[in-house]
Structure 1
């Protein structure tokens, strides 16, 4: 029996086909892959996923972390503590008051962040949060040139090895820039003239991924979608493009060096502030 399916579905399809093979391959009609996935129970899927390796792609946030220079720093205040009794319950507890901008640490940018009338965080569907993970590894090129922007040759090389970028994917660019975290000067990498030098996406690649391959979202390790030489001139053309396409993005990812180029799943989550223009996210990968 031959099974052909996207790599991230192999565990689920195998769960369906295994009983058929154990009872005698060829003695029963072969079900389609769609039937195979439909037949898997959520309990079975959960049991498969629990055997996999999970990788956290999120920085812990705190005051003083790298951020856009126009934003104020985070403040955190402890307003209740264990050894105090704030009410009639007779026991103390730990509670903190946080104050920070939405674009803080590893965070989600919804369309409304740049596009007036665009979707806000509470309007992002939950089905847009569990996605096939596609990783473009350009970290070696970035070592040679910190201003490197991903090219269509990088994408073509990926597709030559793994097939077409799957629809609804979460596409991320590995640059290993997150290894500079949380050193703000190293993250921005400014020269004597104040120009930042860090890698970024390119218009041709983003347009190909969103408009031709139909990805759902994209992410990166740097503070911005656009390369540093562009943002130093207040040029956020590429981020504007993504958000204008009614898609969201994730900035300041980490641990991308622990991921395969294909076959993993991404879980991209964030709070649901009403009308929210951005918020810290919790992003992780489930490896094949």
Structure 2
């Protein structure tokens, strides 16, 4: 190949990773899995509401607009690093960027949740997924699809409490989490509901499944949405967040890349 031909090929295809970038932008669907956060949205009872004020406002004649935000880290679609539950564990700034771009596995129990909101995934659900798609990839991000995000931002519907104050919401199961973390060696998990543990557990102060995940040095994203728009296998997920020094949680921006 002559120098002129090489130059022409480089111009057509681009050097390095640029051709892959075009592949991932021109021929791939991008699905946002994130709720936009705002004051007044559902949140843990012990948290105060978000406060947002305009420090500068173009509408009031200023040259630019700047907002001051006051909110807890675990707000809206957010990331929980291990340090959220474990003293001395990894904080947000210690999660490497290579863990933020992962194969996406979607485990769907929506139909069962519609009949029973206390539903959790079983090893049979996982086995059925693997029968259709092969083993869960090592290092994957596994998202539990429950349909619960359709209730957002109705706080009462999200909590789904009965007359005794017990919350009936889906969650993970210990057997599935043990398999994913200890056998499949996944990097992170995510879910549509507000907690890792089902509502029947959190109603009595039991967050043992979340403690297990974070204690295993894995991170998670809570309050995902639009999992119904991505395939159960074959997609990639990008999960990113700011980098507060020793941060214990923060709103996250999460999106999937997948074939149309």
> So what's the TM-score if we normalise by structure 1?
0.83
- 1:43 corresponds to 2:18: yes
* Alpha-carbon spacing, 1:83–1:141, altered in 2? closer, same or farther (3 Å): closer
Which residue in 2 is equivalent to 1:282?
253
CA distance in 1, matches of 2:174, 2:49: 31
CA distance in 1, matches of 2:213, 2:243: 21
Which residue in 1 is equivalent to 2:5?
none
Q: Tell me if the contact between 1:58 and 1:282 (Cα under 8 Å) persists in the aligned partners.
A: yes
- 1:144 corresponds to 2:119: no
- 1:250 corresponds to 2:221: yes
TM-fit CA distance, 1:64: 1.0
Q: Tell me if the contact between 1:80 and 1:93 (Cα under 8 Å) persists in the aligned partners.
A: yes
* Alpha-carbon spacing, 1:193–1:83, altered in 2? closer, same or farther (3 Å): closer
CA distance in 2, matches of 1:141, 1:82: 49
TM-fit CA distance, 1:41: 3.5
Which residue in 2 is equivalent to 1:213?
184
Which residue in 1 is equivalent to 2:76?
105
- 1:81 corresponds to 2:57: yes
- 1:259 corresponds to 2:235: no
**In structure 2, which of residues 153, 159, 167 is the aligned counterpart of residue 188 of structure 1?**
159
CA distance in 1, matches of 2:121, 2:110: 10
Secondary structure of 2:58's aligned partner = coil
TM-fit CA distance, 1:281: 0.1
Listed as ranges, the gaps of 5+ residues in structure 2 are 1-14
Q: Deviations over 1:192-223 (max 9, x none)?
A: 00000000001110110011101000000000
Q: Deviations over 1:165-201 (max 9, x none)?
A: 0011000011010000000000000000000000000
* Alpha-carbon spacing, 1:84–1:189, altered in 2? closer, same or farther (3 Å): closer
Listed as ranges, the gaps of 5+ residues in structure 1 are 1-39, 86-90
Whichever of the two has the greater Rg, that structure is 1
CA distance in 2, matches of 1:278, 1:83: 33
- 1:155 corresponds to 2:126: yes
Secondary structure of 2:127's aligned partner = helix
> So what's the TM-score if we normalise by structure 2?
0.92
Q: Tell me if the contact between 1:267 and 1:285 (Cα under 8 Å) persists in the aligned partners.
A: yes
TM-fit CA distance, 1:81: 1.2
Q: Tell me if the contact between 1:54 and 1:285 (Cα under 8 Å) persists in the aligned partners.
A: yes
Which residue in 2 is equivalent to 1:17?
none
CA distance in 1, matches of 2:179, 2:116: 23
Secondary structure of 1:257's aligned partner = helix
Q: Number of residue pairs matched?
A: 244
- 1:55 corresponds to 2:31: yes
CA distance in 1, matches of 2:222, 2:51: 21
Q: Tell me if the contact between 1:134 and 1:262 (Cα under 8 Å) persists in the aligned partners.
A: yes
Q: Tell me if the contact between 1:84 and 1:93 (Cα under 8 Å) persists in the aligned partners.
A: no
* Alpha-carbon spacing, 1:83–1:107, altered in 2? closer, same or farther (3 Å): closer
TM-fit CA distance, 1:84: 5.6
